[in-house]
Structure 1
Amino acid sequence: MFALFHDLVIAPFAEFEFMRRALVGAVALAIAAAPIGVFLMLRRMSLTGDAMAHAILPGAALGYLVAGLSLPAMTFGGLVAGVTVAVGAGAVARASVLKEDTTLAAFYLLSLALGVTIVSLKGSNVDLLHVLFGSVLALDDTALVLIAAIATLTLFAMAAIFRPLVLESVDPVFLRSVGRVGAPVHLIFMALVVLNLVGGFLALGTLLAVGMMMLPAASARLWTDDLTQLVGLAAAIGAGSAVVGLLLSYHQSLPAGPAIILVAGAFYLLSLIVGRRGLLAARIGRRHLEA
């Protein structure tokens, strides 16, 4: 039994360095991004994360156009593009009759089309797939250090602003009435969203980066109402999805990034059915009340 477990679970990571690198990068990303996803979900901004994930594409593509597959250039470009879209969408929403979700949708569609066009001008279809879907199995030392730094910064920042962030998520009007920390907390939180999407972009690509944020958060919400447990469970689900997804990719010769997100999606569907607040529990509860 142990030999089988070793061959299926331990051997891929013990024998291949690229699998160990992918494991470290994906788990670090999950531990930081999943708690961010929890607060996006609580603030009803789940689709904002998706919009911002697409928004970083043209900046990363410009970095690619200038310097090729250069991590510093693509990271800097992605950060600038993400911040620009976040600020621009808010400014347009305040200056026009359009709501912020509408402006974000418009910005992210333009960003996605522009980014794909820029990459296509210089690169091949392989380069385009690399940008859109990531290359978690090809993470180098520089990428790992960047992802680890983003994860560390995120966890420390979340710990520092946790209480006002909870208040700002639940009752922003009350937070503004008792102090002036609401706007800074919102800006810090959005900066963390962009940073984690850039980290996710390096490993999972622009189309899948938001999956590591939202799917573990949505799964955890179906199991608990306690916020502290929700954050911890989301991070655990994200890390577990990374491990299982990489093993599935190794044994079944599947693309690693999509495999990780598929595992997270499978856990979400399972939680939706059998979770403490899932469909089965709701049906049993209705039957109990009817009886």
Structure 2
Amino acid sequence: MSIVYDWLIAPFAEFGFMQRALGGAILLSISACPVGVFLMLRRMSLSGDAMAHAILPGAAVGFLFYGLELIPMTLGGLAAGVVVALGAGSVSRLTIQKEDASMAAFYLISLALGVLIVSLRGSNVDLMHVLFGTVLALNDEALTLIGTITVVTLVALAIFWRALVAECLDPLFLRSVSRLGPPVHFIFLGLVVLNLVGGFQALGTLLAVGLMMLPAAAARFWTTRVEPMCLLAVAIGIFSCLGGLLLSYHASLASGPSIILLAGVVYILSTLIGPRGILATRIRPSLHRTA
């Protein structure tokens, strides 16, 4: 029991920064993982990655004027994410270019511009903070922001759940029977930006999308129904955050990358042994046919 306590409980029982890190990571998992499921079902996973980088210029402008202050960087990132989402959507609707290509273009511009802005004032340490986050340095203000984003996300998902599911499965049908199609699409993009801004506080712009997409992608190999998929994604996200924080504490590793790498391990295992993974759908049927 002493070993279990020392390895699993003591880091969170004895250190306030570990408690805040775990609390923020759990809130992010509850909020971002269901959004990641809908991104995946809409085949917009790479768009989520692009939007994660899109918040960088706005956050960098906030950093340029106010340093590592929460509110300016958050508002800047939120504004930049909305501008990029609307800009990419407008380009895809007004030109021959599809949304994924326009999103990729805006993502590359945003990433380069954000890094350039941070480098004008900050050091390499500041740049690493912006790009990779500092989950172990979450304060009460950051936890309040993440908690607010979680509440807003869950309320929005509860209100628009059926419309979101319908748009994932058959968007043409939703548009034929309801006018909710376009509004729900932009509301959903707003939730994506909100959760990426929340994830930015803990994991930085480069890793925020990892907690959103990897648990969702792993859950896809275990179930086909949307509700269980969202719940399983949240569970995988929480497990990854808990295990990643413990791994970073005991092995003196970077906390954000440890969380995302553990989520990546769960994803790889799911692709192999999940009911819809390689072993169940490819290898076993081949063995039965051979026999």
Please state which band the TM-score falls in when normalised by the shorter chain.
over 0.9
User: What does 1:109-128 correspond to in 2, within 5 Å?
Assistant: 109-128=108-127
- Show the counterpart of 2:284: 284
SS at match of 2:88: helix
How far has the Cα of 1:281 moved from its partner? Answer: 1.0
- Show the counterpart of 1:273: 272
Deviation by residue 1:242-280 (Cα, 9 ceiling, x = unmatched) = 000000000000000000001000110111111111111
Provide the C-alpha distance between the structure 1 equivalents of 2:161 and 2:54, rounded to a whole number of angstroms: 26
- Show the counterpart of 2:98: 99
Provide the C-alpha distance between the structure 1 equivalents of 2:290 and 2:98, rounded to a whole number of angstroms: 42
Provide the C-alpha distance between the structure 1 equivalents of 2:201 and 2:108, rounded to a whole number of angstroms: 20
User: What does 1:156-235 correspond to in 2, within 5 Å?
Assistant: 156-235=155-234
User: What does 1:149-160 correspond to in 2, within 5 Å?
Assistant: 149-160=148-159
User: What does 1:5-44 correspond to in 2, within 5 Å?
Assistant: 5-44=4-43
Matching residue's letter, 1:118: I
Deviation by residue 1:187-225 (Cα, 9 ceiling, x = unmatched) = 111100000000000000000000001100011001111
How far has the Cα of 1:94 moved from its partner? Answer: 1.3
Query: TM-score, structure 2 length as denominator?
Result: 0.98
- Percent of residue pairs identical: 64
How far has the Cα of 1:96 moved from its partner? Answer: 1.3
Matching residue's letter, 1:284: R
How far has the Cα of 1:184 moved from its partner? Answer: 1.1
Provide the C-alpha distance between the structure 2 equivalents of 1:185 and 1:152, rounded to a whole number of angstroms: 18
SS at match of 1:210: helix
Provide the C-alpha distance between the structure 2 equivalents of 1:157 and 1:290, rounded to a whole number of angstroms: 50
Matching residue's letter, 2:105: A
- Show the counterpart of 1:236: 235
Provide the C-alpha distance between the structure 1 equivalents of 2:62 and 2:188, rounded to a whole number of angstroms: 25
Matching residue's letter, 1:39: F
How far has the Cα of 1:156 moved from its partner? Answer: 1.1
| Matching of residue 147 in structure 1 with residue 146 in structure 2 | yes
Provide the C-alpha distance between the structure 1 equivalents of 2:172 and 2:286, rounded to a whole number of angstroms: 35
How far has the Cα of 1:44 moved from its partner? Answer: 0.3
Matching residue's letter, 2:38: F
Provide the C-alpha distance between the structure 2 equivalents of 1:41 and 1:130, rounded to a whole number of angstroms: 28
- Show the counterpart of 1:52: 51
SS at match of 1:205: helix
Provide the C-alpha distance between the structure 2 equivalents of 1:17 and 1:234, rounded to a whole number of angstroms: 27
Aligned-residue CA RMSD (Å)? 0.8
Provide the C-alpha distance between the structure 1 equivalents of 2:225 and 2:92, rounded to a whole number of angstroms: 33
Structure 2 gap segments, 5+ residues each: none
Structure 1 gap segments, 5+ residues each: none
- Show the counterpart of 1:73: 72
Deviation by residue 1:162-198 (Cα, 9 ceiling, x = unmatched) = 0010001111110010010111111111100000000
Matching residue's letter, 1:174: F
Matching residue's letter, 2:251: Q
Provide the C-alpha distance between the structure 1 equivalents of 2:112 and 2:175, rounded to a whole number of angstroms: 38
How far has the Cα of 1:289 moved from its partner? Answer: 4.2
Give 4+ residue runs of structure 1 displaced > 4 Å after superposition. Answer: none
Deviation by residue 1:114-164 (Cα, 9 ceiling, x = unmatched) = 000000000000000000000000001100000011011111110110001
Matching residue's letter, 2:186: L
SS at match of 1:97: coil
